[in-house]
Structure 1
Amino acid sequence: MSKLLEKWANFGYQKSEIRTAIVFGKNGENVIIVLANDEVFAFGKNKRGCLGVGNLDEVDELKRIENLCGQGIEGLECGIFDRDKFHMLAISGSGSVFSWGNNGSGQLGLGTKECTEVPTKISGCLEHKKVVQVACGGYHTLTLTSEGEVYAFGCNAYGQLGLGSKDNQLLPQRVGGLLDGIIVASVACQKYSSFALLQSGKICAWGYNRDCFLGSSSTSEHECSPCKVIGLEGVVISQIVCADFFILALSDDGKIYSWGVIYNSHSEKRIWLNRPTIITTEMGRVKDIAATHYGSHPSAAITEDDKVYIWGNCNGQLVLKPIVTSFSSFDEVFATASPSVTYQRFPMKITEDESKRKCPISKRFPEVFDNPETADFAFIVEGKKIHVHKIILILVSDVFKNLFLGDWKDSCQKELIVEDHSYDAFYAFLKYFYTGKVNFTAELALDVYTVARFYLVTDLMEVCKKILKSGLTLQNASFLYEKATLLGAKDLCEVCVKFCEKRWVDVMDNFESDDRKREVVMEVFRWFAAGKKN
């Protein structure tokens, strides 16, 4: 959790006790915190009941939000209009969504237009859905379910709900059209427009489209249904974020694309981009991007070497080119902006061990592996077919993503012959994607490692290394070393050399080649010398 919470208030709690928090408001004066024990508190100005404490009174000290306590809240979002009108949403760990605050257009999804002073669970179409993300525009809201479906509600004057009309919706409605049957990975909102990042890495957009700044092929000022963003052909987008009237998109190769209108609220300067345009490549590879709906805030990016860049509206100045800062996180960027707010909602920490165990696919799809009735693709290995699902392979391997979504001329085909790997190894390799588990022997582990290395599946490579290491003997160490050398697999060579370090005299008898013996002896001495130095 960010140290910057201390800059806003002394809550009287240890950092480890706070699960998530949000600071928002015209001057950053409103705070909601969720404790690890499921208690939820707020204080601040409370305009239109945005604090959820059951009245409109200003709250001078932490007060419980009764309706959220005990609900397992893990995420908080804020919709902003004119800097003092806020509609609030909270997501629980079970996927329920609660809303409260400003509701003039039904953006709370509760079936009314009345402001709501207490968090209320959204039902209707979302009653039996698990919501994994929400995004807020000025007066509208998008929700994304675990099934990759998008539901929208609220103001629809510009078609920003994507429902094919301009009718406001007081209850959640599923967005169809181009999104029918498509898995959506994330959603984002401008003030009057909406965007969906598809699992394929493509983007759909709808809503306010003056001067075509949705980036789509549509020339209508108001696009009421999802349409594809063009100009990103051959590019796989991994992240999208929105400000009021522009969007940033991060590609999987670390480039930032932007389009829309960027303006300085303190002057008449405006920059219009009606097609996705690379901001710059001078920052190097970017791994994260950020923007907010506060017009006085900059945009920001963090590069692979952890440098933080900002551009846009920076303290009243329009900065056209990203500049490096002394900040170390987005939290610092927006804590020192005006108003001071939180950017990330301080999500509950996941330990390293838990993150390694986390494998949604392995929990959902083991039973459909190699099932010809549901599969949409097959590998033919040694004359036998292994039936798979493209989307699952795309999710877990960039090599398969590029194969199925890139410029591969045969990407529309239903089968592919594999000639360089054995059936058993390739079967075990593919099955791992569906189960997250291994059940092959040490004898097969080297062949599976070879397949995993070719397809850059690093977690499976590590599993194979452990199996190989545990199965090393005086008889097979020499064989494994020679195979690892031929593969150019330095990590496997290292495993063998460390094993040989204590047993190298006996292992030497198993090498047929004198050259190999000399090579291993030299490697052992190098490792021994390096160990002495350390």
Structure 2
Amino acid sequence: MEDEPPPQGVSAKVLEATLLSALKMLDVGKWPIFSLCSQEELKLIRQACVFGSAGNEVLYATENDEVFVLGMNCSGCLGTGDMQSTIEPKRLDSLCGKKIACLSYGSGPHVVLATEEGEVYTWGHNAYSQLGNGTTNHGFVPCQVSTNLVNKKVIEVACGSHHSMVLTSDGEVYTWGYNNSGQVGSGSTANQPIPRRVTSCLQNKIVVNIACGQMCSMAVVENGEVYVWGYNGNGQLGLGSSGNQPTPCRIAALQGIRVQRVACGHAHTLVLTDEGQIYAWGSNSYGQLGTGNKSNQSYPTTVVVDKDRVIEIAACHSANTSAAKTQSGQVYMWGQCRGQSVTFPHLTHFACTDDVFACFATPAVMWRLLSVEPDDHLTVAQSLKKEFDNPETADLKFLVDGKYIHVHKVLLKIRCEHFRSTLNSDDEIIEMSEFSYPVYRAFLEYLYTDNIRLPPEDAIGLLDLATLYRENRLKKLCQQTIKQGICEENAIALLSAAVKYEAQDLEEFCFRFCINHLTVVTQTQGFAEMDHDLLKNFISKASRVGAFRN
């Protein structure tokens, strides 16, 4: 049955208003500065960032990509062309329609913003050339930074107190601004007035994540190594010393640990590994390392957040507060909490790490650009997702384990080479016995949504299907799901699957997990029933890495 056309006489404006009313409102109620906005204005906000020395400035974007600012306007950081404060939202015409991808800010404050097109704009405090325009004059309006960034697409931005850093889509890092401690990574301590690429140890590395502390810089490369440079007086570089570092240096203490994300506080650092663990180091005056004491640490130290896997870490260069979110959705905080010290991760009642900084941090500023996606915006992707397993519009059914899955032939042919060559126009029902219902349903749903929803044990079956159908991206997603769900009980089964399907990266991950939890893993039923050849190879490899040494 085809979708009915809209009733005659319904205008485009009415339809648009109906769609907009279904959009989810960004929850900014915990940030005091938004009390200056009316409820009508709040309903339109889709992105926001609260910043400044006391959380007294804010930039926000609406659902139609208009950009507004509000607040004290220190050093012209609102970009309105002057230094006048405002309690009424002011529109920034130069940024309207640009679609903001990411934003960061310094202590002056200065602002660095990247658009979805990869363009970089800066404005605000500039006494140390942190705007990257070659001068030390404050910037009262947003200006594009183009020197050395022409034909580069910026995908991530980060600011320290008075220096700036960006990451490009090809994995290069560029820095500029204040450099008294080597935080721009140039090898000297001279301020850097324009963007220059950070080379040295990063010359041939592909960087995937960046962060700035007050006067230091961090980069994670694609193999999970972490490189650091800049001020190190509190041990925030994790090098085991307190000497400054003028060029990027790898953290040797994290050898063999694959880091996914790094987050910097005022003078402390957090990293998140691919096993969902947190390591912290640096200043600990408020317990922001989560170690149970207030002693600084110059080496990476494990932070224990319950027994759950951590999926997000949060810190901000202007605060001594740390936060994390687990896979089950629980949010923890530690460090400075409204002047008090919380030295162990403390379970909050919040649903997101952003609320930790709104309610507990000093100053109450955002650690990232806060964004919300529309709930019912009729994009192509969302329309396709909605039609999966819809018997009213489907023209093909798969019969698996006695259950039907309703799909659309044309979409299967567009999305999958296997179906392009095997589906016939007269097919109405296809019986499938090679795979289980959960596995085959997850595969078909993936073709509609580009995502998979399966427990790790079923993801093994989907990995088998992806290998058979030569769906390489699906193989990667399966491996990611398996990694996130690995535990002592299923580690051997997942390792066996990785070997069987020649997933080398996954095999190495599972092997490393088994070695790290060797005592428990060797006591499981899976280990007792392990294939002889696999067991032989496992013991040999474990011996080579020193797993059986006293």
TM-score (norm 2): 0.63
**Are 1:135 and 2:114 counterparts?**
no
Q: 2:332 aligns with which of 293, 309, 315?
A: 309
Distance 2:263 2:171 in 1: 18
Q: 2:267 aligned with 1:245, yes or no?
A: yes
Change in 2 beyond 3 A, CA 1:251/1:458? farther
Helix, strand or coil for the counterpart of 2:132?
A: coil
> In the aligned structure 2, how far is the partner of 1:136 from the partner of 1:436?
41
Residue of structure 2 in register with 1:276 after alignment: 300
| 1:457/1:333 CA distance change after superposition, 3 Å | farther
Q: Does 1:23 pair with 2:45? A: no
Distance change >3 Å, CA 436–CA 254, structure 1 → 2: farther
Q: Report if aligned partners of 2:128, 2:177 keep a CA contact under 8 Å in 1.
A: yes
Q: 1: distance between equivalents of 2:341 and 2:300?
A: 20
Identity of aligned residues (%): 35
- Aligned residue in 1 for 2:176: 153
Partner in structure 2 of residue 514 of structure 1: none
TM-score by length of 1: 0.65
Match of 1:228 in 2: 250
- Residues 354 and 90 of structure 1, relative CA distance in 2, 3 Å threshold: farther
Letter in 2 for 1:201: G
Report the counterpart of residue 69 of structure 2 in structure 1.
Answer: 42
Task: Give the superposition deviation at 1:264.
Answer: 3.3
- Indicate yes or no: 2:87 matched with 1:60: yes
The one-letter code of the counterpart of 2:50 is: V
Instruction: Deviation per CA, 1:260-301: give whole Å up to 9, x if none.
Output: 1122399xx942111111011534211111111233x52111
| Matched-pair contact (CA < 8 Å) for 1:53–1:66 | no
Three-state SS of the structure 2 residue aligned to 1:263 is coil
For 1:286, the equivalent position in structure 2 comes to 310
CA contact (8 A) 2:235 2:296 kept: no
Residue of structure 1 equivalent to 2:99: 72
Partner of 1:181: 204
Extract unaligned runs of 5+ from structure 1: 359-434, 466-486, 489-534
SS at match of 1:26: coil
Distance in 2 (alpha carbons) for counterparts of 1:236 and 1:456: 25
1:249/1:258 contact within 8 Å kept = yes
CA contact (8 A) 2:183 2:216 kept: yes
Residue in structure 2 matched with residue 406 of structure 1 by the alignment? none
1:335 aligns with 2:314: no
* Alpha-carbon offset, residue 340 of structure 1: 2.9
Question: In the aligned structure 1, how far is the partner of 2:433 from the partner of 2:225?
Answer: 36
The alpha-carbon distance between structure 1 residues 234 and 436, as it changes in their structure 2 partners (threshold 3 A), is farther
Distance 1:353 1:462, change over 3 A: farther
CA–CA distance in structure 1, aligned partners of residues 383 and 461 of structure 2: 19
The separation in 1 between residues aligned to 2:120 and 2:384, in whole angstroms, is: 26
1:19·1:36 contact (CA, 8 Å) conserved in 2? Answer: yes
Alignment of 1:288-437 (within 5 A): 288-295=312-319, 297-337=320-360, 338-347=362-371, 349=373, 354=381, 437=416
Q: 2:282 aligns with which of 236, 260, 278?
A: 260
Larger Rg: 1
One-letter amino acid of the counterpart of residue 267, structure 2: F
Distance 2:117 2:468 in 1: 32
RMSD between aligned alpha carbons?
3.5
- Partner SS, residue 335 of structure 1: helix
Residue-by-residue CA offset, 1:49-106 (whole Å, 9 max, x unaligned): 01110100111201111221232223322112xxxx2111111110001000011111
* Residue 241 of structure 1, CA deviation: 0.5
For the 8 Å contact 1:19–1:74, the answer to whether it is kept is: no
Deviation at 1:5, TM superposition (A): 4.1
The 8 Å contact of residues 159 and 165 in structure 1, kept in 2 or not, is answered as yes
User: Does the CA-based 8 Å contact 1:106-1:155 persist in structure 2?
Assistant: yes
Q: How far apart are residue 462 of structure 1 and its match?
A: 12
**Does residue 94 in structure 1 map to residue 117 in structure 2?**
yes
CA deviation after TM superposition for structure 1 residue 350, in Å? 7.2
